[in-house]
């Protein structure tokens, strides 16, 4: 039987940001991104993205890039329909990296999850960075004028300072938008409890991931005294974690990112399960380029009824898709029949390394153990 895949390419990129993105992990000035691309005999293409933020994920760009190159060799030696097991194996240690390959193959196969039947407008979260009331008013008005109706405020730097910050934000917002608070795992249980018990719930939609991803006890201690709904993000990697959150009554909201679920199909199933268990799903990656954000938006059009967090493409200085994505009225605008293509010029511009393999010439690598 003729081999379906003709070429596999992986690109390691460093994509600079418009402005630095301040997180408790540190200041992010560029995205460390891996793009996987597969091409079949007829020239049809599929691609996927992994953007690695160590601290959010255990993956590192060096380890993920090494694993991506090795897996590209393995994928070149098998038929696409036989690649599922390999992607699942890769995903045990490298879920973000595995997602780049899993979604590339789904796109190549013509996944219906990327095929919209009508125009869709996906509202996005706007990030409010200002710390002082005067600059906060100016920035919030700019967000309102741009069409945002849900904003995110990063906390987790200092409890007392964070409490004052939230009060200032609430005075500025004054009922004109929903507020999401995100600690990115920065609080201990005691810090988290001190923070939430000082909150006035006005306009606060949810409080996201106060404590370390694996520290469920600390998260539960915070959630039990919180006057605002809680959301888990970094703690959630798959169905088992979703089930655990429901059993423990740990959160009202569960946030998912495509890059943790390996495939579009896996993401869709996880979103459905969240709803079945009586929780609300939130979707989106603020640390991703336009390929990943576009895929998440296609899923959001089917499954999500709140503001998406797939706004990373707005942070990147240049798009990786030809023409970029359309943003209007605080929302990503999707149209049926959209067939995105990678922008070869921008890929080259931001490229750190690459590997291109012909499936006809490839042979399986000697080792199948991925780097740590």
The count of other CB atoms within 10 Å of the CB of residue 18 is 10
Distance in angstroms (rounded) separating the CA atoms of residues 307 and 232? 16
Residue 370 counted as domain residue: no
Residues 175 and 304 placed together within one structural domain of the fold: yes
By residue range, what is the domain housing residue 30?
A: 5-113+343-358
Do 175 and 95 sit in the same domain of this protein? no
CATH number of the structural domain spanning residue 29: 3.30.390.10
Task: Clarify whether residues 157 and 52 are in a common domain.
Answer: no
- The pLDDT of residue 371: 52
Residue 363 lies in a domain: no
In this structure, the answer to whether residues 199 and 63 fall within a common structural domain is: no
Quick one: 227 and 81 in the same domain?
A: no
pLDDT, position 360? 62
The reported pLDDT for the residue numbered 80 is 75
Indicate the number of domains in the chain.
Answer: 2
Residues 54 and 154 occupy one common structural domain? no
Residue with tokens 């679920």: 261
Q: Are 179 and 213 found together in one domain?
A: yes
User: What is the β-pairing status of strands 230-232 and 253-256?
Assistant: parallel
Alpha-carbon distances, residue 105 vs 8, 48, 149, 175 (angstroms):
11, 8, 35, 44
Chain centroid to CA 76: 27
Determine the pLDDT at residue 154. Answer: 95
In a domain, 365, yes or no: no
94 shares its domain with 129:
no
Within 13 A of 204's CA, how many CA atoms are on the CB side?
25
The predicted pLDDT at position 362 comes to 46
Residue 247 belongs to domain with CATH number = 3.20.20.120
Q: Per residue of the chain (372 residues), give pLDDT as tens.
A: 344 789 999 999 999 999 988 877 778 999 999 999 999 988 999 999 999 998 888 999 999 999 999 999 999 888 777 898 999 999 999 999 999 999 999 999 999 999 999 999 999 999 999 999 999 999 999 999 999 999 999 999 999 999 999 999 999 999 999 999 999 999 999 999 999 999 999 999 999 999 999 999 999 999 999 999 999 999 999 999 999 999 999 999 999 999 999 999 999 999 999 999 999 999 999 999 999 999 999 999 999 999 999 999 999 999 999 999 999 999 999 999 999 999 999 999 999 999 999 876 544 443 344 454
**In terms of residues, how long is the chain?**
372
Q: How far is CA 119 from CA 122, 148, 325, 328, in A?
A: 10, 19, 14, 13
Question: Residue 127: inside a domain, yes or no?
Answer: yes
Contact 239, 277 (CB under 8 A): no
Tell me whether strands 45-52 and 120-123 are parallel, antiparallel or unpaired. unpaired
Same domain, 164 and 92: no
Report pLDDT for 119. Answer: 97
Classify residue 209: in a domain, yes or no. yes
Per-residue pLDDT at 187: 97
């Amino acid at each position: 039987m003729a081999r379906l895949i003709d070429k596999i390419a992986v690109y390691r990129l460093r994509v600079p940001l418009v402005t630095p993105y301040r997180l408790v992990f540190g200041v992010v000035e560029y995205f460390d991104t891996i793009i996987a691309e597969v091409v079949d005999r007829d020239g049809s293409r599929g691609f996927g993205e992994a953007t690695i933020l160590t601290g959010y994920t255990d993956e590192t760009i060096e380890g993920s890039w090494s694993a991506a190159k090795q897996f590209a060799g393995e994928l070149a030696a098998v038929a696409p329909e036989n690649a599922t097991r390999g992607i699942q194996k890769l995903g045990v240690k490298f879920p973000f990296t595995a997602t780049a390959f899993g979604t590339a193959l789904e796109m190549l196969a013509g996944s219906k999850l990327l095929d919209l039947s009508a125009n869709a407008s996906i509202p996005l979260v706007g990030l409010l960075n200002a710390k002082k009331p005067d600059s906060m008013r100016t920035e919030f008005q700019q967000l309102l004028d741009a069409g945002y109706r849900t904003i995110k405020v990063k906390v987790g730097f200092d409890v007392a300072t964070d409490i004052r910050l939230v009060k200032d934000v609430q005075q500025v917002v004054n009922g004109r938008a929903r507020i999401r608070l995100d600690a990115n795992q920065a609080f201990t249980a005691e810090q988290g409890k001190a923070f939430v018990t000082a909150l006035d719930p006005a306009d606060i939609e949810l409080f996201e991931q106060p404590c370390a991803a694996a520290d469920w006890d600390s998260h539960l201690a915070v959630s039990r005294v919180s006057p605002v709904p809680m959301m888990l993000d970094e703690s959630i990697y798959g169905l088992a974690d979703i089930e655990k959150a429901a059993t423990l009554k740990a959160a009202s909201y569960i946030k998912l990112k495509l890059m943790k679920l390996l495939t579009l199909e896996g993401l869709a199933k996880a979103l459905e399960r969240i709803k079945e268990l009586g929780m609300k799903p939130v979707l989106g990656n603020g640390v991703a380029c336009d390929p990943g954000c576009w895929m998440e938006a296609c899923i959001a059009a089917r499954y999500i009824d709140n503001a998406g967090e797939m706004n990373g493409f707005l942070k990147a200085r240049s798009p990786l898709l030809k023409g970029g994505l359309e943003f209007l009225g605080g929302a990503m605008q999707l149209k049926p029949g959209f067939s995105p293509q990678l922008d070869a010029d921008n890929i080259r511009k931001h490229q750190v390394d690459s590997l291109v393999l012909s499936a006809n010439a490839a042979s399986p690598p000697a080792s199948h153990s991925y780097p740590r």
